[in-house]
Structure 1
């Protein structure tokens, strides 16, 4: 027995010596976790003052100052609360268009793209990026634009399950990181971060590590930048199997995230995964709950989805660990007969509680399965449009071949007959019908929810429940991310002025102010 005791003691001393640095960072992280509410209170106070300044600029009716105040509000919210960041970014974008200032339009669109990227809305983010006329941006704002662009494409390449598209997204990420490198010769945070990410996605982890270390050593980083760099180093060391280093840097990243009140973060989740693999379940549980709280606060569905995969595993491991403890309690109860009844009663209660946890985890897995199924349904409809486009191209190719044959044989009457067969109006109507049908499958209660934004007398009544009218079709396109009036006009075969007229007329009929009306439309959920 003594021999076993001394062997156990030796192992514990060895483990303690090999993780002193980690223990120090762990204590610091625990300290900052206890201070989160105080730090966030300071952040909220800062935001409150910014919003007061914004209100003052509106009362002064100084629109240039109002734009600056709006962008400051967006900056304050950008990694803190998604809904507020998106709201003020949209307001800034609308004001930029009213001012007809190309620089401000490009700046607000660039920021909108970043915010949608943080939410995990990759398609919307990239669609917005592609409309930014970045030549009108200042040098600093252009750096931010390139940084958003390469991050968007690198992130999308990581999430894409298709190897072909993943490689294509990587190339686009390389394109924007290289533009930043070529245009700006002086060293900068954005430039080195682009090089680090470029190295990571191409598997050059040692090179990426060097860039991140250079960022730490050569630049005076703020807390948010520190979190980005140390989190990157944590991922690299985790991939290389250097677990202690990975934990050290991920803890530093988590501390920096707390100090900067950053809620859109991945460090705590990654830390929880490492501790789970090392069977340090309580630490894993502590950090995954922290990551979940941040994701809920920010409103990041992407982060919630990522957390939902590891949380049930940690809960289950925690459950198994506690089951082992219960067995130990049972043995003690046998040896100490006096306490056996009390221990048994407690074990029964704990067992019932664990069953409830297992049941909750099963429900969570079921919900995740439903989410994946919904995603698959959407992919099916997107695939339908690709198929439709392919069929249409084939039809045009057959038409071209037929006309060519008639020209060779000089059968001009037959050419006229062939031309009469094509009816562009009918083809466009068919496109509208297919769009309506697929949109209403994705948003089955869109018409009902849209009508709730109007008084009874102003509501839209359709003859065919499977078809939309022009009013609804415009806002259906807006709901799926087509915000540019020129694009909407092109799709619906109308003039841009007509689209503006429709949108203004509909918004003016609503029972909500214009800004709130647009948010209500975007809040209509898909299946």
Structure 2
């Protein structure tokens, strides 16, 4: 048997290393909350099963011991973790039928069943009384083993319930003695050996199995939901923190599924969650545990729960108050931030408006600068053309005058006065003027090719000036052409064109009177006619 135990450890060791201790409990907690919502359906299923057993019991003749005892045992098993009063009734019926038919083995089992349910319900004195009625003489080894285990659990329970410095110590010592004596009677099976590994201390290369291993181990074996809950609760005492949470949550889930109302797992889970500061979850568990205790009729469990529940409730109230305070603080901070942001937005908007205004000013100044540069460039080009025209015309006139002078001087010198007079008579001033105006017109129209069309656009349809074939500019157009070139002085215009000042005034006034724009804006519109550099 020792060799078999060693083989089990060797086989389990690689598996133990493969499981992680960090299995998430949150997903299992979600399962538990979902199962709590279905709790009534599990209770209904349990009641239907009990009703079926009761019906079979009614239909079984009273003289048939074995089938009736079997049905009473099944009924007790269903009630033992479901309803205390019904479990007590079933146990007494089992005792009565065993005594009636003088069945010692079944009587001992019935008395132990009664003691078990009394212990679970906190009736410790009554449980000891029930244990005292059991005939321990000539007990089978297996029965004595179960008897000692039950008595050990009873001593442990009352020790935990008393929880004092003197009597509790005696009960715990008696419990250890009973467990030790029970362990010496029979060899544990494979599952019991595996479970016991959790309570062995780590030493050397041997490490105890993880909680994750036991989680998978229990689910992989053919155990009932109630059995899984019992074993998981038992093993959970060997672990702490998340490992313990994993196992007690598994136990609580299976207690719900098996409609177990005499449950310790949900109470342990509530305590553990409370230690983890998961107070809302702990409160849910304790409320469920209190409801189970009331449903089953467990006095000791109800007392334990009622001592812990106010602590959880008070902490929940503190948390809610803290959350409320934090909410108000958050609201105040939010309002402060909102005010600051609004203030910043106002400043930002003002800055943006100022920037936009400045950009508009800059754009306007840039446009004005561009217009000024354009006008300077235009003026420069006009001056270049006019200066070029001036020097070219002057040079031509000087050359002509020089030729006339020489011919006249030569004729006078040789006495040909008549010929000299003819030479001087060949100089036609009006022709030269017309040629000068024609040259000026060509230069101007080269600089302003759209002048005539633009000028006419400022006049009414019937008053527009149209050139004859071969004509470049009329006298009126020539006056405003000089104005477009920047010559605005009336006397200067009159001298250039050979007109009187009144004549120039008359031409200007007549045209302005025919304009489609106000007279005071006419010359401004003339200055806006576009200059074109074709060079």
Alignment-derived partner of residue 353 in structure 1 = none
Q: Please, which runs of 5 or more residues in structure 1 have no aligned partner?
A: 1-17, 338-527
Superposition pairs of residues 128-207 of structure 1, within 5 angstroms = 128-135=130-137, 141-185=143-187, 187=189
Q: Which structure: greater helix fraction?
A: 1
Alignment-derived partner of residue 54 in structure 2 = 51
Match of 1:42 among 35, 41, 45: 45
Q: Which segment drifts farther, 300-309 or 91-100? A: 91-100
Which whole-Å deviations, capped at 9, do the CAs of 1:157-190 have from their partners, x for residues lacking one? 3333444433433343234323432332352667
Task: State the SS of the aligned residue for 1:293.
Answer: helix
Q: Does 1:259 align with 2:249?
A: no
Which whole-Å deviations, capped at 9, do the CAs of 1:269-311 have from their partners, x for residues lacking one? 2222222233222111211111112111111111110101111
CA distance in 2, matches of 1:208, 1:94: 50
Post-superposition offset of 1:210: 6.3
Give the direction of change, closer, same or farther, for the CA distance of 1:175–1:325 in structure 2 (3 Å limit): closer
Post-superposition offset of 1:318: 1.5
Q: Which segment drifts farther, 137-146 or 210-219? A: 210-219
Match of 1:269 among 261, 267, 270: 267
Task: State the SS of the aligned residue for 1:227.
Answer: helix
CA contact (8 A) 2:124 2:158 kept: yes
CA contact (8 A) 1:257 1:265 kept: yes
Q: Does 1:236 align with 2:238?
A: yes
Post-superposition offset of 1:116: 0.4
Task: State the SS of the aligned residue for 1:133.
Answer: coil
CA contact (8 A) 1:192 1:215 kept: no
Match of 1:313 among 311, 314, 320: 311
Post-superposition offset of 1:258: 1.5
Post-superposition offset of 1:63: 3.8
Q: Give the number of aligned pairs.
A: 311
Which whole-Å deviations, capped at 9, do the CAs of 1:393-448 have from their partners, x for residues lacking one? xxxxxxxxxxxxxxxxxxxxxxxxxxxxxxxxxxxxxxxxxxxxxxxxxxxxxxxx
Task: State the SS of the aligned residue for 2:25.
Answer: helix
CA contact (8 A) 1:158 1:166 kept: yes
Structure of higher CA gyration radius: 2
CA distance in 2, matches of 1:232, 1:115: 18
Q: Does 1:121 align with 2:119?
A: no
Q: Does 1:98 align with 2:100?
A: yes
Post-superposition offset of 1:139: 5.9
CA distance in 2, matches of 1:94, 1:166: 35
Alignment-derived partner of residue 292 in structure 1 = 290
Higher relative contact order (CA 8 A, sep 6+): 2
Post-superposition offset of 1:124: 1.6
Post-superposition offset of 1:264: 1.2
Match of 2:113 among 107, 111, 114: 111
CA distance in 2, matches of 1:190, 1:150: 17
Which whole-Å deviations, capped at 9, do the CAs of 1:192-217 have from their partners, x for residues lacking one? 87x689x69xxx79999769978984
Give the direction of change, closer, same or farther, for the CA distance of 1:165–1:276 in structure 2 (3 Å limit): closer
Match of 1:76 among 75, 78, 81: 78
CA distance in 2, matches of 1:80, 1:44: 10
Give the direction of change, closer, same or farther, for the CA distance of 1:89–1:42 in structure 2 (3 Å limit): same
- TM-score normalised per structure 2: 0.51
Q: Does 1:29 align with 2:32?
A: yes
Post-superposition offset of 1:81: 0.8
CA contact (8 A) 2:273 2:282 kept: yes
Cα RMSD after superposing both structures: 3.6
Give the direction of change, closer, same or farther, for the CA distance of 1:137–1:196 in structure 2 (3 Å limit): farther
Give the direction of change, closer, same or farther, for the CA distance of 1:53–1:99 in structure 2 (3 Å limit): same
Task: State the SS of the aligned residue for 1:271.
Answer: helix
Give the direction of change, closer, same or farther, for the CA distance of 1:44–1:149 in structure 2 (3 Å limit): same
Give the direction of change, closer, same or farther, for the CA distance of 1:140–1:289 in structure 2 (3 Å limit): same
Alignment-derived partner of residue 477 in structure 2 = none
CA distance in 2, matches of 1:73, 1:138: 25
Q: Please, which runs of 5 or more residues in structure 2 have no aligned partner?
A: 1-20, 336-535
CA contact (8 A) 1:272 1:284 kept: yes
Post-superposition offset of 1:53: 1.4
Alignment-derived partner of residue 389 in structure 1 = none
CA distance in 1, matches of 2:147, 2:295: 26
CA distance in 2, matches of 1:179, 1:225: 24
Alignment-derived partner of residue 89 in structure 1 = 91
Superposition pairs of residues 500-515 of structure 1, within 5 angstroms = none
Superposition pairs of residues 273-284 of structure 1, within 5 angstroms = 273-284=271-282
Which whole-Å deviations, capped at 9, do the CAs of 1:477-497 have from their partners, x for residues lacking one? xxxxxxxxxxxxxxxxxxxxx
CA distance in 2, matches of 1:96, 1:161: 37
Post-superposition offset of 1:51: 0.8
